[in-house]
Copies of this chain bind each other. A is one copy, B any other.
């Protein structure tokens, strides 16, 4: 039984690691629904750990819905939730294209942000799941410790204390780097913008996954860049053969991708795939821009390794964020730009000069205290639960033939509707019912994925959510019907 990550370091408290091992076994089918787990006493003896730890591990698995207790008998692997088959993402390869999705995305974003809608739209975690009081304490401590915070320009590359904390936490990423490698940004979005501008100029081609989150397509559009889309498959990511063919055939300036908890597919690529992509890019001297915005909200027992951890030549521009996951109001991200550091730092200076000071000092305090890791453990339990429940609800309520991902992390479900039903039509019908979702077509510059929608669930599952999924299913049925 392995409770260590690939880099050989144990992570998280023991009970979480024990639970994680079982989760992995359930995911890879070494344990099947109905299988009996060892008794508490037996497992305690076998692993040489306390019974309290085993009880805590089983409790966690039970909360995740992975196992169920049967009175006077023990714990069993849960009957699998109803689950739809996987969506198909394969599309005929297409030449690079200018991106032009701007106007419709703005419209859809507006809907997604509307606080009166049932929020399956926006990729945002509800404030109720975030540690407001603890962050406020960090703010108070920061303001007291640095009373000059408001009247001094922060260093352009970021507050030194925060850069040090980010470098310290690099062990979680199986990376080692220095504080000077970190450039603090206004969220991951600024990090990605700077990274793209560092390697590509207007008219150039940038390789992206397909589907890819629309924020990235918007950025490419705003800089007059072209997108070359490379099919990304649920659980597997980009096909290595297609990737290599595309890299060799087209003159692309970089490949922009997520190795972990990709938005919208929720995929965590196997380490071997990540290593292979980094090796290929290195061989072709092609920079990779890695968007790791959601890598910290993985359902795996260990924090997945980013592509960056396989990069030995500074070819990966790694972008991450504390904004989505813990403190949207601080809006802090960062980039480790590898051999493009000087260029990215200069661009940061030119476009926003510096990042506000107080949120950076407060986040430093928060990270130093260990509160971030504690927050993640709680948060990921809830997101796992919500995402799985959402998947089950869609499988139950949507028309026959609907396909969904089973995300490895994040809080998105990618749903493929049956019989080429239009995601945009479902989006419009849902709008009328006060439910926000996002149509699939805006996840592609070619407007592929017209029969898809993305559903987000960065919040605790509720009866209202269940009712909304049921309503969405009815709307889809009705649209299918009217289609004849």
Footprint of B on A, CB under 8 Å? 102, 106, 109, 124, 127, 130-133, 135-136, 139-140, 143, 147-154, 186-187, 189-190, 193, 197, 201-203, 215, 218-219, 222, 224, 327-332, 346-347, 349-359, 362
Contacts and interface: CB of A to CB of B under 8 A. Distances in A.
Contact of A187 (B327, B352, B357): B352
Given A153-B328, A329-B150, A218 B132 contact: no
A347 B221 CA distance: 10
A332 B355 CA distance: 10
A166 B362 CA distance: 27
A351 B151 contact: no
Contact of A359 (B152, B219, B349, B356): B356
Contact of A358 (B202, B203, B353, B358): B358
A346 B149 contact: no
B353 A187 contact: yes
Contacts of A352: 186-187, 189-190, 193, 331, 352
A296 to B, nearest CB: 16
Closest A-B pairs by Cβ, 4 of them: A329-B357, A130-B151, A135-B150, A127-B151
Nearest to A138: B150
A150 B124 contact: no
A298 B215 CA distance: 41
Contacts of A357: 329-331
Given A106-B346, A106-B349, A154-B329, 13 more contacts: A124-B153, A131-B151, A140-B140, A150-B327, A152-B328, A152-B329, A154-B331, A187-B354, A189-B353, A202-B202, A219-B351, A330-B356, A356-B356
10 contacts: A149-B329, A150-B362, A153-B329, A186-B186, A187-B354, A189-B350, A201-B202, A222-B347, A358-B358, A359-B359
Contacts of A140: 140, 143
A30 B265 CA distance: 75
A151 B329 CA distance: 5
A135 to B, nearest CB: 4
Given A219-B350, A329-B152, A147 B136 contact: yes
Nearest to A154: B329
B151 A327 contact: yes
Nearest to A122: B153
A140 B106 CA distance: 35
Please tell me how many copies of the chain the complex holds.
Answer: 2
A355 B331 contact: yes
Contacts of A139: 139, 143, 150, 358
B346 A102 contact: yes
Nearest to A192: B351
A150 B331 CA distance: 9
A99 to B, nearest CB: 11
A350 B152 contact: no
A8 B69 CA distance: 80
A148 B133 CA distance: 8
A121 to B, nearest CB: 13
A331 B356 contact: yes
Contacts of A355: 186, 331
A193 B351 contact: yes
B350 A331 contact: no
Contacts of A356: 186, 329-332, 356, 359
Contacts of A149: 136, 329
Contact of A127 (B148, B327, B359): B148
B136 A143 contact: yes
A222 B132 contact: no
B215 A150 contact: no
Contact of A135 (B135, B151, B154, B197): B151
Nearest to A363: B150
- Most B CB atoms within 10 A — which of A139, A148, A353, A355? A353
A240 to B, nearest CB: 31
A245 to B, nearest CB: 30
- Most B CB atoms within 10 A — which of A153, A218, A327, A355? A153
Contact of A351 (B124, B153, B351, B354): B351
Contact of A197 (B130, B147, B222): B222
